[in-house]
Amino acid sequence: MKQGLSLRVSQHLALTPQLQQSIRLLQLSTLELSQEVEQMLDENPFLERTAEEAAREEFGLDAADTPAPREDTEREAESDYASAAPSTSTTSTETASSSEAEPALDSPEREPDWEGDGTVDMAPDDSEWGSDAPARNNSSTGDDERADATELARSQESLQSFLHRQALSLRLNENDSAALRFLIESLNDDGYLEDSLPALASGLAGDDNDQFDELVHHFQVALGLLQSLEPAGVGARDLGECLAIQLRALADEDETEEEELVRKTALAICKQPMELLARRDFKRLATLTRTNEELVRSALQIIARLEPKPGRRFVDVERNIVIPDVIVTKTGRGTNVKFRVMLNPEVMPRLRVHDIYAGALKSHKGEGSQALSQRLQEARWFIKNIQQRFDTILRVSNAIVERQKSYFVHGELAMRPLVLREIADELGLHESTISRVTTAKYMSTPFGTVELKYFFGSALGTETGGNASSTAVRALIKQFVGSESVKKPLSDSQISEMLKEQGIECARRTVAKYREALRIAPANLRKAL
């Protein structure tokens, strides 16, 4: 074969470590970002968290997509470390308050750009960044002593602690007291005892039959004591037993014969399969309980007021707390209404490069300092990428608020259709970037805290040729169901016809899908007894 020389032009995209880190930080949630910051603080000695108040770096929107200027690194470091002295003591209160009062998007000409070109020759900014404002208090009462949701969650008593505290008032011998403590610790979050008493005893006694029988006896005594504690229904093995315990607790000396009959009928219903109760099969329940349908209906009304999960109110609510990344506030009135979009200062970490370590590295450059210089550059990259993360979130949030302004004025009924591509084309970003920004990021609005993805919904056709947002359609369905007659609830077909009267083309199957997404029961289960 004759050898030859050929030239081929190819193009490929190489992700620098800085760009990879920027993409990874962008898709993290607030909790994941906090964990990432803690890990970086442990690994990189040049990175430190600062607690004192300092001038917060503002985010530049207009200059966010421009490349950073490339200057001499030595000259940059010299100027940085020369001005690294703390300036918080000389900053007045008026200056701090004025920086808070003006949002970042009002002064793009003074804001630095965070967009790098992937090189290490960027302009380093080692000053502290983050929030210098106190935690935002959304309470309109102005009570500073009012505990926030996190504090309430931390101070909330668990179900086990509540039961142990009640058990202290019981006079029990050592064995029964130990058995009661064991059963309390064996309860799940709903207050149910999932394992049977023989199974619990077998796990402790092993092959010792005498000890097994003794443990079962103590557990039976302890179970009776456990089911007598508050909340009523705790310690039940199944739903029927839980409801029966609560019904027996409702017994009163002053109840009439009719009320007693209804309660006993309810007790008899709880002994039947729960599927019949869920289907509201009145005829079958009346036959099994040897009563009439009218009495069964009255008994089901009592059962409906019971708590199927006694431990519900003791569940740790801290895991359900959502801290918004963006806060939207309303300003102005009437036609001059405007919405201010700002980053939540509580979720923005305060980081800076350690001045002492960086200064020592600069003054003692020599052999072996290459690895330390790399760690210093990693710290600068990390701060810059976090800044760029919040900058991108702010830009996307501003674009969302601008397009969904009707929602912020009138609520979810005024939501318009929106797809990721519209925001991506407006900001000059990729759809995947918008998807990362809107995932697990939350916005505090006048109508509550919602995920950024909430503002994106598919379009449904209208009779006039326009489009209606699926979010607005779901809100209409919720409104229709909320105003329906409890004796004659609306079916999916009827809701579909009502939407057509509003000019929205929505099939019955689509209505059923939206209804299930809203966790609304079918018409036969919404019907009043």
Count of CB atoms within 10 A of residue 135's CB?
A: 9
What separation in angstroms does the CA of 465 have from each of 79, 418, 459, 501?
61, 17, 11, 15
**Residue 272 sits in the same domain as residue 199:** no
Can you give the pLDDT of all 529 residues of the chain as single tens digits?
Answer: 677 777 888 776 677 887 888 888 888 988 899 899 999 889 888 888 876 533 444 434 344 344 444 344 444 434 443 343 333 333 333 433 343 434 443 444 444 343 444 333 334 444 444 433 334 444 444 444 444 544 544 556 788 889 999 988 888 888 889 999 999 999 998 899 988 888 888 888 777 888 888 888 999 999 999 999 999 999 999 999 999 999 999 888 788 888 889 999 999 999 998 888 888 888 888 899 898 888 988 998 899 889 999 988 887 655 567 889 999 998 877 778 889 999 998 888 888 888 777 777 777 766 567 778 888 888 889 999 999 999 999 999 999 999 998 899 888 888 888 889 999 999 999 999 999 999 999 999 999 899 999 999 877 777 666 677 888 888 899 889 888 888 888 999 999 999 888 888 888 999 999 899 888 988 877 876 5
- Report if residue 141 sits inside a domain: no
Q: At what angle do helices 30-43 and 370-403 cross, to 10 degrees?
A: 170
Judge contact between 131 and 346, C-beta under 8 A.
yes
Q: Which two tokens stand for residue 45?
A: 């000695």
Q: What is the pLDDT of residue 322?
A: 83
How distant, in Å, are the alpha carbons of 192, 235, 277 from that of 238?
Answer: 7, 9, 14
pLDDT for residue 444: 93
Q: What is the pLDDT of residue 126?
A: 43
pLDDT value for 137: 42
Identify the domain containing residue 463 by its residue range. 458-526
Q: What is the CATH number of the domain that holds 180?
A: 1.10.10
Is 120 domain-assigned? Answer: yes
∠ CA(347), CA(349), CA(354), 5° rounding? 175
The answer to the question of residue 70 being in a domain is: yes
Closest CA to 39 of 29, 27, 49, 52: 49
The residue type found at 479 is Q
**Can you state the angle between helices 420-427 and 370-403, rounded to 10 degrees?**
120
Does residue 227 sit in the same domain as residue 303? no
Is residue 450 classed as helix, strand or coil in its secondary structure?
Answer: strand
- pTM exceeds cut of 0.85: no
- Choose among 12, 6, 48: nearest CA to 358: 48
Class of residue 13 by CB neighbours under 10 A (exposed 0-12, middle 13-18, buried 19+): exposed
Question: At CA 447, angle to CA 443 and CA 453, rounded to 5?
Answer: 40
Both 115 and 172 in one domain: the answer is: no
Same domain, 422 and 477: no
Domain boundary among 315, 342, 374: 315
Residues 260 and 278 reside in one and the same domain:
yes
pLDDT of residue 366: 61
Q: Where are the beta strands (DSSP E) in 75-128?
A: none
In sequence order, the 6+-apart residues with CB closer than 8 A to the CB of 408 are: 328, 330, 339, 401, 445, 446, 447
Q: Is there a domain that residue 149 lies in? A: no
Task: Say if residues 408 and 341 touch (Cβ distance below 8 Å).
Answer: no
Q: Tell me, what's the pLDDT at 341?
A: 93
Measure the N-to-C terminal CA separation of the chain; round to a whole number of Å: 90
- 328 and 415 together in one domain: yes
Dihedral sign for Cα atoms in the order 399, 403, 408, 409: positive
- The answer to whether residue 286 sits within a structural domain is yes
Q: Rounded distance, CA 509 to CA 133, Å?
A: 50
pLDDT for res 142: 43
pLDDT on residue 365: 67
Is the same domain home to 417 and 335? yes
Query: What's the CA gap between 263 and 285, in Å, rounded?
Result: 15
The CA distance from 528 to 385, in Å, is 56
Are the beta carbons of 355 and 126 closer than 8 angstroms?
yes
Domain termination site, one of 388, 418, 433: 433
Q: Is residue 361 part of a domain?
A: yes
Give the 3-state secondary structure of residue 304: helix
So what's the pLDDT on residue 140? 41
H-run or E-run covering 199: helix 197-205
Q: Between the CA atoms of 341, 343, 346 and 348, what dihedral angle is there, to the nearest 10 degrees?
A: 180
77 found inside a domain:
yes
Q: What are the b/e assignments for 318-355, b being 16+ CB within 10 Å? A: eeeeebbbbbbeeeeeeeeeebebbbbbebbbbbbbbb
Residue 244 and residue 264 in one domain: yes
CB of 342 closer than 8 Å to CB of 329: yes
Q: 52 is written with which tokens?
A: 């004192």
Number of domains in the chain: 4
Residues 215 and 293 in one domain: no
Instruction: Examine the domain organization and report whether 395 and 333 are in the same domain.
Output: yes
Length of the chain: 529
Residues 129 and 165 in one domain: no
- Strands (DSSP E) contained in 24-69 are 47-49
Choose the final residue of a domain: 260, 290, 315: 315
Q: Which residues, in sequence order, are CB contacts of 489 under 8 Å at separation 6+?
A: 481, 523, 526, 527
Same domain, 125 and 191: no
Look at residue 520 and tell me if it is in a domain.
yes
> How many angstroms separate the CA atoms of 17 and 381, rounded?
9
